[in-house]
Amino acid sequence: MSNNSESKVRVDKWLWAVRVFKTRTLASDACKAGRVKIDGKSVKPSRMIQIGDTVTSQKGQEKKVLKVVKLIEKRVGAKIAVECYEDLSPPPIPRTPSELQKSAFWEYPTATRERGAGRPTKKERRILDDFYDDFDDDFED
């Protein structure tokens, strides 16, 4: 490596190397979509970062704020990757079950069947439909 590449690394490459994103393509796409910011400004995937920069990335509901401590270009194991940044992410907001029910991201319980059990019979289908109807009625109020 030349001296120039040790002092700066592409942001998409670094995010992939420290295991924030599973693939470099995902890291690059996140940059293009404006979900990666350096010091509060959206950046392109080719933006070069240096030690001391604060990189903020958004993946779904998860927001990570990382301060660059070490620059790497190659993907490394999780134990080594943790040494390359200082995690400044805010802790997730604890939510009560009633808040979860009211949020747009609350998931309905789903019925599962044993693998290989086949399609539900007509009787089983009616039971499932009644269950979902009763469940929906509880949350319409």
Task: Give CA–CA dist 45/32, Å, rounded.
Answer: 7
Domain boundaries defined on the chain: 3-87, 97-139
Tokens of 59: 């993946």
pLDDT at residue 115, rounded to an integer: 82
Quote the pLDDT of residue 2: 41
Assigned token pair, 121 = 């019979």
Contact 107, 101 (CB under 8 A): no
Helix ranges (DSSP H) in 18-106:
24-32, 78-81, 97-102
Give pTM, 2 decimals.
0.63
Q: What residue type is 130 in one-letter code? A: D
Please tell me the class of the 3-87 domain: alpha beta
Give the pLDDT means over successive 10-residue stretches in the chain (141 positions).
63 93 92 91 92 89 89 90 89 67 60 80 89 68 52
